[in-house]
């Protein structure tokens, strides 16, 4: 989008806005016309988490006229290490409400639209269609493919970012010009190979670096200045503070932006990202929630269950369920004979439920009847202890 062609550049800036954006107005590449383009633009930030928080703050400060925030989660204390829109006083509040409060306090001149919902194939096109640029701050593959496809079908530029532990990625996708997330990752990796931040951790400042870079890309798209990361992937290593850039070739056979696209409507992305559906359904049937464990009076009848913690030793130092056994997931296969010999029901648990689901699949492959704790020790701490 070139600001010289923006349809609403006839509007003006107030005296307060001139003072607020004076450093932008001094830049020949932005100036008054560019600032008016920012004022009349609409940007949707999907996810008010580690990436969305810094991105939204800088977009609000820059004067984006309408900023949409989409998130269905509530603020938790574990978010505050990196999600800088939220505060200790707003724990338990919807993230969209917390974000809206912080962004309006920063810049009362902008409009903040809250979408307190889980993005799905049923609502994604409707929500994304109201914005000029989409910024993806999600943390799971199903939503990333959903957002990519919705943006591509709508012809919207998409600013992508992701973080894990000490590394991050940034890119810009625009299916209209050839090049989308599917060109980079045609198919999702197996779920067991992709731990999330709740499982693997993340350096708190890293989402700030990546989210701010995403905001910079969104501003360049709106202003029509500089070179964006379209068809390029920026890799950031915070441990060595090295930045590298890779070219992303356009895949002419891409299902979304190729010469003969096969994706003409949104798909079932949970199924797409979980190729072993039979295994997933079996695992779901053997889930147990913290509430259900309480109902079975596990706390008082602990001797009737064996709880196996499949996390690493350093994670148990932070928190653990009293009386639980410890067998890290990587050592579980070698311990199947021991587990099979248990005469009491087995319940696997990890931090958020992902690794314990993998442990359950492994046990089921060995003919062992077991369950896993849905939501992991995080859910246990919320509902039990």
Distance CA 144, CA 138 (A): 7
Distance CA 185, CA 157 (A): 17
Distance CA 111, CA 138 (A): 22
Residue bearing tokens 């509902």: 383
Determine phi and psi for 94, rounding to 5 degrees: -60, 135
Strand-pair partners of 202:
165
Residue 267 Rama label (left phi>0; alpha psi -120 to 50; beta)? beta
Residue bearing tokens 């993806």: 136
Give the active site residues: 197, 350
HSE toward the beta carbon, residue 111, CA cutoff 13 A = 11
Distance CA 42, CA 133 (A): 7
Distance CA 65, CA 39 (A): 4
Determine phi and psi for 338, rounding to 5 degrees: -65, -45
Distance CA 284, CA 383 (A): 20
Distance CA 359, CA 16 (A): 58
Distance CA 179, CA 177 (A): 7
In the chain, DSSP assigns E strands to: 42-46, 66-70, 111-115, 133-136, 158-164, 167-173, 232-237, 242-247, 287-288, 306-309, 325-326, 346-349, 370-373
- The CA distances from residue 98 to 53, 114, 203, 226, 281, in Å, are 10, 10, 23, 33, 35
- The CA distances from residue 385 to 81, 94, 248, 285, 298, in Å, are 22, 23, 47, 25, 12
């Amino acid at each position: 989008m070139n600001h010289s062609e923006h349809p609403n550049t006839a509007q003006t800036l107030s005296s307060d806005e001139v003072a607020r954006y004076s450093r932008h107005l001094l830049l020949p590449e932005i100036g008054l016309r560019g600032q008016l383009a920012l004022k009349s633009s609409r940007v949707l930030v999907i996810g008010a988490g580690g990436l969305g928080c810094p991105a939204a703050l800088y977009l609000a400060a820059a004067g984006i006229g309408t900023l949409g925030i989409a998130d269905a989660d509530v603020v938790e204390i574990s978010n505050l290490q990196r999600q800088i829109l939220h505060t200790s006083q707003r724990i338990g509040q919807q993230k969209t409400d917390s974000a809206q409060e912080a962004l309006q306090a920063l810049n009362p001149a902008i409009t903040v639209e809250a979408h307190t919902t889980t993005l799905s194939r049923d609502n994604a096109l409707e929500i994304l269609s109201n914005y000029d640029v989409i910024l993806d701050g999600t943390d799971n593959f199903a939503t990333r493919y959903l957002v990519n496809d919705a943006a591509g079908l709508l012809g919207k530029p998409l600013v992508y970012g992701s973080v894990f532990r000490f590394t991050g990625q940034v890119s810009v996708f625009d299916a209209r010009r050839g090049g989308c997330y599917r060109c980079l990752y045609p198919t999702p990796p197996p779920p067991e190979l992709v731990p999330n931040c709740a499982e693997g951790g993340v350096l708190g400042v890293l989402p700030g670096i990546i989210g701010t870079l995403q905001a910079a890309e969104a501003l360049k798209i709106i202003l029509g200045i500089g070179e964006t990361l379209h068809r390029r992937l920026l890799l950031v290593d915070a441990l060595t503070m090295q930045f590298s850039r890779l070219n992303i070739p356009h895949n002419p056979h891409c299902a979304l932006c190729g010469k003969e696209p096969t994706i003409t409507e949104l798909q079932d992305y949970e199924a797409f990202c979980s190729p072993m559906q039979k295994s997933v359904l079996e695992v779901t049937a053997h889930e147990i929630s913290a509430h259900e464990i309480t109902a079975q009076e596990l706390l008082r009848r602990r001797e009737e269950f064996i709880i196996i913690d499949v996390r690493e030793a350093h994670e148990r130092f932070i928190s653990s369920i009293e009386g639980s056994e410890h067998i890290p997931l990587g050592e579980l296969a070698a311990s199947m004979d021991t587990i099979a010999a248990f005469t009491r029901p087995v319940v696997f648990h990890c931090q958020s439920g992902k690794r314990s689901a993998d442990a359950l699949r492994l046990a089921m492959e060995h003919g062992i009847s077991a369950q896993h704790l849905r939501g992991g020790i995080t859910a246990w701490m919320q509902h039990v202890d």
